[in-house]
């Protein structure tokens, strides 16, 4: 029978190839982040499921022999001038003009990735969110006292009786074993002698070495505590860190906000909240949905409930002001209101006054995103731009405005398609 020598080099080589492939996949994901974050399948996926993202296939190139034309192979005729184009190969998937293609197209594949890993890639590209820190970033809330450790010294009220008895039992067993080895007597006699000697090894050994039977020792199961057996519990104050940052997410859910507009707004908030929950463990997030009236809703209702009706954005701003006054005073909290609408407001003047009222409370940053389409009658962004003298800027094809009121920054972004989502996140969450 033939003996086949195992290839011990193949395993390390395979691991290196697998690591290289994983890095290639991550690189492809990084290059396509703007397209990936606008994928509806990610936003609507079930909780705790892997995220599937489409990427181009990673090819392994190899040399192959080509087909030559004519009698000679690999040689020119010498009748061509330098720089003259001899011909072009058709692109993959294309044939000659007017003819169907016979070449394979570009390969795409789907790969699975944890949402947390995808968020980490996006955070590296975006930078940390632009959340300022007050002098007291987190409030320390006492929760009581907990037993932290066990010490050999302490005060009597903190004596741990159970642990002390365990130490005495362990010490007694060690002494009995030692007496049995030194005297050759049985366990019962050694335990009785140790009890009569009140734990003194020298006296117990003397009793065992004396001739005659052992005197009665009483209850041999009695445990005698010594000072070396005592154990005391130490107490430490148990505290809880409460975040001093709150994000107020406001969204227009009126009838003019069609399916695509609501999807863009919810996509923005989905990624923004994913970032904040990754970076800040205890940041507060409150949700306001509005038509002509505004109401506080939970996260599930905010992302799933659809409504109809008119649009009055001031109702959301007034509710945000009440929420700040009642629960999040800006003297102790960093407040970040974000609002998305299509700008079709029925009372623009009152909305601007309500927005100024929110800003007057000293919020850290106010972000307004307006989703515009060719069918929108957007008026709010233009009114804000004129009234607050917002400065127009541009980045990656995205139009946004910057300004301030009462020394509070105001950022406005115009979103026209899903492609503007990633640049909008960069504007709102950029590092300073």
Domain containing residue 251: 126-137+244-429
Question: Is residue 282 domain-shared with residue 421, that is, in the same domain?
Answer: yes
pLDDT in tens, 93-114: 555 555 555 555 545 556 666 7
In the predicted model, is pLDDT for residue 353 greater than 90?
Answer: yes
Which residues on adjacent β-strands are paired with residue 56?
Answer: 108
Question: Is residue 360 domain-shared with residue 404, that is, in the same domain?
Answer: yes
* Res 135: pLDDT: 43
Question: Is residue 269 domain-shared with residue 174, that is, in the same domain?
Answer: no
Measured CA to CA, the distance from residue 407 to residue 354 in angstroms comes to 16
In the predicted model, is pLDDT for residue 286 greater than 70?
Answer: yes
pLDDT in tens, 395-405: 767 888 999 88
Identify the residue with better confidence: 27 or 424: 424
Measured CA to CA, the distance from residue 386 to residue 302 in angstroms comes to 31
N-terminal to C-terminal alpha carbon distance within the chain: 72
Q: Closest by alpha carbon to 357, among 403, 405, 313?
A: 405
* Res 296: pLDDT: 94
CATH of the domain at 356: 3.40.50.410
Q: Closest by alpha carbon to 411, among 384, 376, 386?
A: 384
In the predicted model, is pLDDT for residue 173 greater than 70?
Answer: yes
Measured CA to CA, the distance from residue 169 to residue 70 in angstroms comes to 100
Which residues on adjacent β-strands are paired with residue 393?
Answer: 400
Mean pLDDT (the chain) is: 76
**Range in 94-98, 151-155, 240-244, 404-408 with the lowest mean pLDDT:** 94-98
| 159: confidence class by pLDDT, cuts 50, 70, 90 | confident
Average pLDDT score over residue span 402-426: 86
Residue 211 token pair: 């001739």
In the predicted model, is pLDDT for residue 282 greater than 80?
Answer: no
In a domain? residue 96:
no
Q: Who's near 105: CB < 8 A, 6+ residues apart?
A: 92, 93
**Range in 8-12, 143-147, 294-298 with the lowest mean pLDDT:** 8-12
In the predicted model, is pLDDT for residue 393 greater than 80?
Answer: yes
Average pLDDT score over residue span 347-353: 93
Question: Is residue 308 domain-shared with residue 396, that is, in the same domain?
Answer: yes
Average pLDDT score over residue span 181-193: 83
Q: Closest by alpha carbon to 276, among 411, 138, 135, 122?
A: 122
Which residues on adjacent β-strands are paired with residue 269?
Answer: none
Going from the C-alpha of 412 to that of each of 2, 208, 319, 386, 429, the distances in angstroms are 76, 93, 20, 12, 12
Domain boundary among 179, 210, 233: 233
Measured CA to CA, the distance from residue 286 to residue 277 in angstroms comes to 13
Domain boundary among 183, 203, 233: 233
* Structural domain count of the chain: 2
Average pLDDT score over residue span 228-248: 77
* Res 118: pLDDT: 74
């Amino acid at each position: 029978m033939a003996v086949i020598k195992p290839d011990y080099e193949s395993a390390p080589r395979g691991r290196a190839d697998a690591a290289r492939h994983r890095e290639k996949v991550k690189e492809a994901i990084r290059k396509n982040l703007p397209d990936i974050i606008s994928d509806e399948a990610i936003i609507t996926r079930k909780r705790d499921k892997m995220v599937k993202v489409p990427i181009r296939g990673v090819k392994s190139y190899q040399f192959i022999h080509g087909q030559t034309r004519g009698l000679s192979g690999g040689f020119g005729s010498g009748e061509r001038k330098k720089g003259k184009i001899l011909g072009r190969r058709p692109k993959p998937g294309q044939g000659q003009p007017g003819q169907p293609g016979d070449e394979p197209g570009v390969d795409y594949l789907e790969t699975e990735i944890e949402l947390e890993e995808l968020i980490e890639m996006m955070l590296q590209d975006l930078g940390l969110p632009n959340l300022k820190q007050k002098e007291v970033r987190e409030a320390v809330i006492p929760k009581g006292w907990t037993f932290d450790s066990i010490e050999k010294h302490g005060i009597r009220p903190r004596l741990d009786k159970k642990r002390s008895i365990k130490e005495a039992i362990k010490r007694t067993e060690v002494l009995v074993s030692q007496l049995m080895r030194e005297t050759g007597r049985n366990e019962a006699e050694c335990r009785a002698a140790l009890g009569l000697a009140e734990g003194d090894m020298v006296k117990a050994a003397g009793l065992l070495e004396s001739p005659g039977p052992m005197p009665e020792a009483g209850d041999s199961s009695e445990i005698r505590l010594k000072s070396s057996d005592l154990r005391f519990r130490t107490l430490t104050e148990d505290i809880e860190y409460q975040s001093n940052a709150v994000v107020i997410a406001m969204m227009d859910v009126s009838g003019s906000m069609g399916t695509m507009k609501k999807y863009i707004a919810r996509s923005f908030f989905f990624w923004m909240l994913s970032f904040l929950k990754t970076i800040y463990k205890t940041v507060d997030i409150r949700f306001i949905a509005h038509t002509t009236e505004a109401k506080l809703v939970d996260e599930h209702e905010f992302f799933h409930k659809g409504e109809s009706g008119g649009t009055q954005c001031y109702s959301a701003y007034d509710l945000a002001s009440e929420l700040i006054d009642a629960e999040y005073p800006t003297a102790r909290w960093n407040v970040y209101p974000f609002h998305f609408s299509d700008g079709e407001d029925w009372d623009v003047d009152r909305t601007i006054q309500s927005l100024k009222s929110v800003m007057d409370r000293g919020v850290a940053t106010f972000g307004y995103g307006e989703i515009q389409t060719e069918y929108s009658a957007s008026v709010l962004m233009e009114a804000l731009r004129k009234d607050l003298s917002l400065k127009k800027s541009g980045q990656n094809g995205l139009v946004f405005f910057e300004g301030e009121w009462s020394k509070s920054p105001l950022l406005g972004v115009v979103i026209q398609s899903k492609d503007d989502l990633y640049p909008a996140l960069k504007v709102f969450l950029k590092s300073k």
